[in-house]
Amino acid sequence: MATIVEKFFDDKAALTEELSQSLEQALRDGIEADGRAVLMVSGGSSPEPAYKHLSTLDLNWAHVDVAMVDERWVEVSHEKSNEAFIKRTLLQNHGAAANFISMKNAAATAEQGVDECEVQFQALKRPFDVTILGMGPDGHTASLFPHAQGLENGLDSNQLVCAINAIESDVTGSITERMSLTLNAISQSKVVKLLISGDEKLAVYKQALAGGNVNDMPLRAVLNHPEINIEVYWAP
């Protein structure tokens, strides 16, 4: 079982304030201890205000590596690109000086691009200072989707990244081809911050926490991992 600390807030503003302060401290501590800090980022509305706040802080951003937790296999110009979202929110203002590591490369498919991506991610300092995860109503996290092609590899591999082809659903949308951190990579973080909001997702989180088949709800693999320290941030 992972080490889990639940941080439940009355509203999203309180969550954002706590998350922002925590991320700032983690980056400062990483730079002080190791000369560099590594922040693994996810897309989504929950971390967006914290990203925007972080971008305004006078950190030593040139010593911060920012890398994606997962990415749709689309060009950065695509409206669904997580990289584009990070560049619009976190990599602005002072944050623009950070070193950004993309998951998307020129390969035609994620499967063909996985080796190049792996080399990029292997060069990052480990353990990562912070990994930010979201969670879908289907129990996926990163792009580790239920019963996806590549899920077994993503949960069992010693690599840091994996190619995923999800089963199309309302959650995935039409873009099912992804690159994702593996469970192994997620476990190599000092802390994982799992961001969830609303009663529906809280119920999904509790269902995952109760145990069951990891292929049905891949978040279970993270919650059950004995080497992962998770802070769960929830607001209505």
Q: Pick out the chain residues at pLDDT < 70.
A: none
Query: Are 46 and 195 spatial neighbours (Cβ–Cβ below 8 Å)?
Result: yes
> pLDDT digits over 120-179, tens only?
999 999 999 999 999 999 999 999 999 999 999 999 999 999 999 999 999 999 999 999
* Rg of the chain on CA atoms, in Å: 16
Q: Rounded to a whole number, what is the distance in angstroms from the first to the last CA of the chain?
A: 26
**Distance between CA atoms of 113 and 127, rounded to whole angstroms?**
24
- Three-state SS at 97: helix
Q: What is the pLDDT of residue 162?
A: 98
| Token representation of residue 235 | 């607001």
Is residue 30 classed exposed, middle or buried when 0-12, 13-18 and 19+ CB atoms within 10 A define those classes? buried
Strand-strand pairing, 70-72 and 177-181: antiparallel
The pLDDT value recorded for residue 227 is 96
Report how far residue 10's alpha carbon sits from residue 51's, in angstroms, rounded to the nearest whole number: 20
Cα gap 175→186, rounded to integer Å: 23
